[in-house]
């Protein structure tokens, strides 16, 4: 996880300096090179170096565009290899569109040398071929999960629902007992009257689950940074309360989602059995009614949801305690450290050296600067702690809501594909005219390519980029490093010529 640069050992530098001194004494009339060790400024970090190849370059470039990782900091590029194309696939999920993108990227990977020799326009996108391959793969995978091929479902495993006529003559689909659809969604949902309601609920909950897991990963990576740099104060007063706050609030919401999915609810409004509560209502009562679950019960129905109420009240207390823990201890600890810090008394040689007025003036100015820097650093810590606490608590809500774009763009992609099909090929089939079907097919292909395969692809890419830059990386990523650029006479001479 941690990137580092090897520097020559201090013994090697000492031997080089000694050899240079001996050469000067033996041949003082001949000019020789000089080796000077430039001390590193206090607080300055070394540059960061990445050894990359064709596969890792596009994913690392996504991270570097936001900011270069600090020296030895956890590199988000490793996790971006999986999380970025996966979140893109959730939004772009379609068997047809994802399969087309996957096959196109696979062609670029297999025919790379031939494309380079041919000099076609595809040469420009060869560098991102592995990124496109992963994006296409996860879009294809999500398409199979949604069972969506250009807005049409595939009946691969039959259906777990049977049609029955009600007393009013309407057709009602009832689930076959003990039937579990093997993979993805049952195609029967695509012809149900509540199709849009079902897909809205499913994709919204999936977006929340993916978002919370992604943010928990970011907070966990913060703990690795703290432990690696031996920053135990940030570990105990930033990571621990943050992970507890996230798990006791939106982590609990994820648990509620899975509990609701796994519970066999009675869907008949007239029956006395337990009815499925809204997750939003459960969470509102959790926050505003001190965890009271009497009106929205997910379990413990016989006791009126007493165990659920006790659990929610406990989690609410934990979340409330985490806020002052993030805000108060760290500035106080730094304040007492500064109060107990006393500079060492100067030695006799140092006292003799500062007798000169100029040196005495410089020493006084340096002392004043150090005191001012300590006060300034303490003030910065207080303000930073306050801002970070407010940002994390409010950002927990806003960031979770931001992941709902996974649901929104997935739904928009599916509905656009459905409208394009119905208004072009679908209307041609309904008319029964071969000419209408042919014209509709040509319009469908062109609109699908330019709107969905170009515009919507870029839109899903940008939204996945935003989720990584803002919602994920702000949990642990400093991004204040700088790249390692090896010395080159050609580069130096070119820069000198350009400046002249």
Position 273 scores a pLDDT of: 64
Position 360 scores a pLDDT of: 46
Residue 228 CB neighbour total at 10 angstroms: 13
Position 6 scores a pLDDT of: 41
Q: Which residues contact 63 (CB under 8 A, 6 or more apart)?
A: 69, 75, 76, 77, 80, 468, 473
- The answer to whether the pTM exceeds 0.85 is no
As to burial, measured by CB atoms within 10 angstroms (0-12 exposed, 13-18 middle, 19+ buried), residue 77 is buried
Position 86 scores a pLDDT of: 96
Token output for 88: 């893109």
CB 414 within 8 A of CB 151: yes
Residue 416's DSSP bridge partners are none
Q: How many whole angstroms separate alpha carbon 64 and alpha carbon 38?
A: 28
Position 131 scores a pLDDT of: 95
Position 453 scores a pLDDT of: 92
Position 239 scores a pLDDT of: 93
Position 361 scores a pLDDT of: 45
Q: Which residues contact 171 (CB under 8 A, 6 or more apart)?
A: 163, 164, 165
3 state DSSP class of 353: helix
Provide the residue-wise pLDDT of the chain in tens; the chain has 500 residues: 544 334 444 454 555 556 556 556 666 665 555 666 667 666 677 888 888 899 999 999 999 999 899 888 999 999 999 999 999 999 999 999 999 999 999 999 999 999 888 878 888 899 999 999 999 999 999 999 999 998 889 988 888 888 877 666 677 878 888 888 888 898 988 888 888 888 989 999 999 999 999 999 999 999 999 999 989 998 999 999 999 999 999 999 999 999 998 888 766 665 656 778 888 888 888 888 888 888 888 887 787 778 888 999 999 999 999 999 998 888 888 888 877 765 555 555 554 554 444 444 444 444 444 444 444 466 777 788 888 888 899 989 999 999 999 999 999 999 999 999 989 988 888 888 888 889 989 999 999 999 999 999 999 999 999 999 999 999 999 888 888 888 777 777 776 666 65
Position 336 scores a pLDDT of: 82
Q: Which residues contact 83 (CB under 8 A, 6 or more apart)?
A: 214, 217, 468, 472
Position 227 scores a pLDDT of: 93
Position 23 scores a pLDDT of: 57
Position 20 scores a pLDDT of: 59
Instruction: Determine which helix (DSSP H) or strand (DSSP E) holds 373, and give its type and residue range.
Output: helix 357-402
Helix axes 240-248, 195-228, angle to 10 degrees: 170
Q: Which residues contact 480 (CB under 8 A, 6 or more apart)?
A: 67, 68, 70
């Amino acid at each position: 996880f941690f990137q580092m640069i090897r520097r020559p050992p201090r013994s090697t530098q000492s031997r080089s300096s000694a050899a240079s001194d001996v050469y000067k004494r033996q041949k003082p009339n001949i000019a020789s090179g000089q080796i000077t060790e430039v001390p590193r400024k206090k607080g300055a970090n070394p540059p960061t170096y990445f050894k990359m190849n064709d596969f890792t370059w596009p994913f690392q470039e996504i991270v570097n565009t936001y900011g270069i990782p600090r020296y030895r900091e956890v590199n988000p590029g490793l996790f971006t290899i999986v999380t970025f194309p996966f979140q893109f696939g959730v939004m772009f999920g379609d068997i047809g569109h994802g399969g087309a993108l996957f096959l196109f990227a696979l062609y670029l990977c297999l025919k790379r040398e031939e494309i380079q020799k041919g000099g076609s326009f595809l040469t420009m996108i060869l560098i991102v071929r592995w990124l496109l391959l992963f994006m296409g793969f996860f879009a294809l995978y999500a398409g199979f999960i949604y069972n969506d091929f250009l807005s049409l479902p595939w009946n691969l495993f039959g259906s777990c629902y049977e049609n029955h006529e009600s007393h009013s003559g309407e057709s009602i689909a009832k689930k076959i007992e003990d039937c579990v659809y093997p993979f993805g969604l049952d195609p029967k949902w695509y012809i149900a009257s509540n199709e849009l309601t079902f897909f809205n609920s499913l994709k919204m909950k999936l977006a929340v689950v993916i978002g919370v897991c992604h943010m928990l990963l970011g907070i966990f990576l913060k703990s690795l940074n703290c432990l690696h740099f031996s920053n135990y104060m940030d570990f105990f007063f930033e990571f621990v309360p943050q992970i507890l706050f996230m798990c006791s609030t939106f982590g609990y919401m994820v648990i509620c989602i899975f509990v609701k999915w796994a519970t066999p609810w009675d869907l008949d409004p007239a029956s006395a059995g337990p009815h499925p509560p809204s997750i939003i209502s459960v969470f509102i009562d959790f926050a505003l009614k001190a965890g009271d679950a009497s009106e929205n019960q997910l379990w413990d129905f016989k006791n009126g949801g007493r165990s659920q109420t006790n659990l929610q009240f406990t989690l609410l207390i934990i979340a409330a305690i985490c806020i002052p823990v993030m805000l108060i201890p760290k500035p106080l600890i730094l304040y007492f450290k500064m109060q107990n810090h006393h500079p060492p008394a100067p030695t006799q040689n140092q006292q003799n050296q500062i007798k000169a007025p100029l040196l005495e003036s410089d020493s006084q100015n340096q002392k004043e600067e150090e005191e001012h820097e300590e006060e300034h650093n303490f003030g910065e810590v207080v303000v930073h702690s306050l801002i970070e606490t407010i940002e994390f608590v409010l950002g927990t809500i806003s960031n979770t809501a931001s992941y709902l774009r996974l649901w929104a763009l997935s739904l928009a992609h599916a509905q656009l594909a459905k409208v394009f099909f119905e208004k072009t090929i679908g209307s041609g089939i309904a008319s029964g005219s071969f000419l209408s079907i042919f014209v509709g097919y040509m319009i469908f292909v062109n609109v699908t390519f330019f709107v969905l395969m170009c515009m919507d692809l870029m839109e899903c890419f940008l939204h996945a980029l935003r989720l990584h830059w803002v919602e994920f990386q702000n949990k642990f990523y400093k991004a204040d490093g700088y790249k390692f650029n090896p010395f080159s006479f050609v580069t130096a001479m070119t820069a000198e010529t350009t400046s002249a």
